[in-house]
Amino acid sequence: MTSRQHASSASRIGLVSDTHNLVRPEALAYLAGCDAIVHAGDICNQAVLDALVQIAPVTAVRGNNDTGEWAASFPTHAKLTVQQVTILVVHDIADVGADPRSEGIHVVVTGHSHKPSISERDGVLFVNPGSAGPRRFKLPVSAGMLIVEGAQASATFESLLT
């Protein structure tokens, strides 16, 4: 198998959250080439999604700052399946059920805290890509990447600004 064939079997899912009206060129560059993008809420403006959808299809949930008519149709929870991996997207980790694994969830993507993190609990991968929007406190400005290959998923995040 060539490296090109190997690369095409994996799906690259870009992860962003808490953009708060701001579409950073660094975020767009990081997400370029993704197969899909997940936005875990606090979008704050339809223009953010319009920019992201130019890169790849977007799954987005409504965050606590997503108010008004433009956001009314967005769900608070979304599920998508990539290859054999089911992903739950919700803005606030407090809104995740007690046992996502029992619901067939393999990966949970959240936002809200602006703090990037990757952890595994009871066989479920929890990913918060942090905030790709305005800097908050001394937290990094970041985005994440979920790599799905068959039934396996792994995640990374990257600081967008130095």
Query: Which pLDDT belongs to residue 48?
Result: 96
Burial 85-101, CB ≥16 within 10 A → b, else e: bebbbbbbbeebeeebe
pLDDT, one tens digit for every residue, the chain (162 residues) = 434 444 458 999 999 999 999 999 999 999 999 999 999 999 999 999 999 999 999 999 999 999 999 999 999 999 999 999 999 999 999 999 889 999 999 999 999 999 999 999 999 999 999 999 998 888 899 999 999 999 999 999 999 986
- What integer pLDDT is reported at residue 144 of this predicted model? 98
Residue ranges of domains in the chain = 3-159
Identify the CATH class of 3-159: alpha beta
- Residue 5: its pLDDT value, please? 42
How far apart are the C-alpha atoms of 153 and 161, rounded to whole Å? 26
Per the listing, tokens 């079997």 go with 9
Whether residue 19 contacts residue 42, with contact meaning beta carbons closer than 8 Å, is answered with: yes
Enumerate residues 6+ apart whose C-beta is below 8 A from 103: 88, 97
Inter-residue contact 33 to 12 (CB < 8 Å): yes
Say what the pLDDT of residue 7 is.
46
Q: Provide the pairing of β-strand 58-60 with 36-39.
A: parallel
pLDDT at 161: 86
**Closest among 131, 126, 106 to 116, alpha carbons compared:** 131
Q: Say what the pLDDT of residue 6 is.
A: 46
pLDDT of residue 133: 93
Number of Cβ within 10 Å of residue 44's Cβ equals: 20
State how far the Cα of 89 lies from the Cα of 61, in Å rounded to an integer. Answer: 7
Report the DSSP beta bridge partners of residue 148.
11, 153
The burial class, CB within 10 Å (0-12 / 13-18 / 19+), for 66 is buried
